[in-house]
Amino acid sequence: MVKKRVAVLISGRGSNMEALVAAAASDLYPAQIVVVIANRPDAPGLARAAAAGVPTGVIDHQGFGMDREAFERALEADLESRGVELICLAGFMRLLSPWLVDRWQGRMLNIHPALLPAFKGLNTHARALAAGVKIHGATVHFVVAETDSGPILAQAGLAVNAHDTAQTLAARVRRLEHRIYPLALKLLAEGRVRINDGRCVIAGLNEVEDVLISPGPGGWST
Ligand code: GRF
């Protein structure tokens, strides 16, 4: 099997990156993580990636001052030099300019800790609690120029408990993230995802994949 070459971009802890790396360790997985790149030299995920034997890179945005484009050109050059075919943003806290997003259109995924299109942006768990929603979750979507707005590839939901705090909710949602992100990347790497009029159409879903993408009435126990 020819595996797709994937870069994971992080800014922090990197637990989603670890989930992707773990999934990609299987011979049967259709993608390999060829590099983990952080925009912060102190991102804890870098050490985790190195411990898992994955090459790492740092492109420190602060080294470019206010020049966003120079940072992005350096990032793009790095990705190209490694023959990267797909990008997974995993807690990457830099907005990317339209030229870069356009270049990777249909080939760059992000994971967001809410059921989009609800709760775009930051502090999603506290906002979900404040809004009193009864179902919350996470979304894997394609990256487009507008933040947290691209075609939705996979979602996972859970019931909000009366005693949930932003912290407990974050931890429970994160466990779902670690399941749907590897699945979403697998579907993309297998060439089974088509974008039609801003919506993802997925070819040949099997029962397990289907339940993971759109959890049934009972949701998942987390
Ligand atoms: C996750 O909650 C993800 O949804 C959001 O940033 C967080 C990253 O966590 N985009 P981690 O670094 O993967 O642990």
Q: Which atom of ligand 1 is nearest to the CA of 170?
A: 2
CA of 173 to the centre of ligand 1 (A): 10
Chain CA centroid to CA 6, Å: 12
Question: Which of 89, 176, 177 maximizes ligand 1 atoms within 8 Å of its Cβ, making it the mutation to test the pocket?
Answer: 177
The C-alpha atoms of residue 171 and residue 3 are separated, in whole angstroms, by: 31
- Return the pLDDT at 25: 97
Q: Which atom of ligand 1 is nearest to the CA of 12?
A: 12
Last residue of a domain, one of 104, 133, 159: 104
The C-alpha atoms of residue 60 and residue 58 are separated, in whole angstroms, by: 6
Dihedral angle computed from the Cα positions of residues 155, 159, 164 and 169, in that order, rounded to the nearest 10 degrees: -10
pLDDT tens digits, residue range 210-222?
A: 777 766 555 554 4
- Return the pLDDT at 209: 80
Last residue of a domain, one of 52, 78, 104: 104
CA of 34 to the centre of ligand 1 (A): 20
Residue 2: partners with Cβ closer than 8 Å, 6 or more residues away = none
Record the pTM. 0.95
Please indicate, yes or no, whether residues 133 and 208 belong to a single structural domain of this protein.
yes
Count the neighbouring beta carbons within 10 Å of the beta carbon of residue 92.
23
Please indicate, yes or no, whether residues 213 and 171 belong to a single structural domain of this protein.
yes
Nearest CA to ligand 1 atom 9: 91
Please indicate, yes or no, whether residues 153 and 78 belong to a single structural domain of this protein.
no
Residue 184 has, within 13 A of its CA and on its CB side, a CA count of: 34
Please indicate, yes or no, whether residues 96 and 183 belong to a single structural domain of this protein.
no
Please indicate, yes or no, whether residues 166 and 217 belong to a single structural domain of this protein.
yes
Q: Is residue 212 a contact partner of residue 154, using CB atoms and an 8 Å limit?
A: yes
Name the phi and psi angles at 135, rounded to 5.
-125, 135
Please indicate, yes or no, whether residues 25 and 123 belong to a single structural domain of this protein.
no
Domain count, the chain: 2
Please indicate, yes or no, whether residues 37 and 59 belong to a single structural domain of this protein.
yes
CA of 14 to the centre of ligand 1 (A): 7
Please indicate, yes or no, whether residues 63 and 164 belong to a single structural domain of this protein.
no
CA of 146 to the centre of ligand 1 (A): 19
Please indicate, yes or no, whether residues 175 and 202 belong to a single structural domain of this protein.
yes
Please indicate, yes or no, whether residues 169 and 211 belong to a single structural domain of this protein.
yes
Please indicate, yes or no, whether residues 76 and 13 belong to a single structural domain of this protein.
yes
What residues flank ligand 1, with Cβ below 6 Å?
A: 10, 12-17, 45, 90-91, 111-113, 138, 174, 177
Please indicate, yes or no, whether residues 158 and 126 belong to a single structural domain of this protein.
yes
CA of 147 to the centre of ligand 1 (A): 15
For the annotated catalytic residues, the residue numbers are 112
Last residue of a domain, one of 104, 122, 143: 104
- Return the pLDDT at 215: 64
- Return the pLDDT at 220: 54
What is 111-146 written as a DSSP string? EESS-TTSS-SS-HHHHHHHHT-SEEEEEEEE--SS
- Return the pLDDT at 219: 55
The C-alpha atoms of residue 157 and residue 214 are separated, in whole angstroms, by: 8
Question: Which of 13, 15, 16 maximizes ligand 1 atoms within 8 Å of its Cβ, making it the mutation to test the pocket?
Answer: 16
Range of the domain at 98: 1-104
- Return the pLDDT at 205: 86
Which CATH number does the domain housing residue 129 bear? Answer: 3.40.50.170
Mark the ranges of the chain whose per-residue pLDDT is less than 50. 221-222
Amino acid occupying residue 154: A
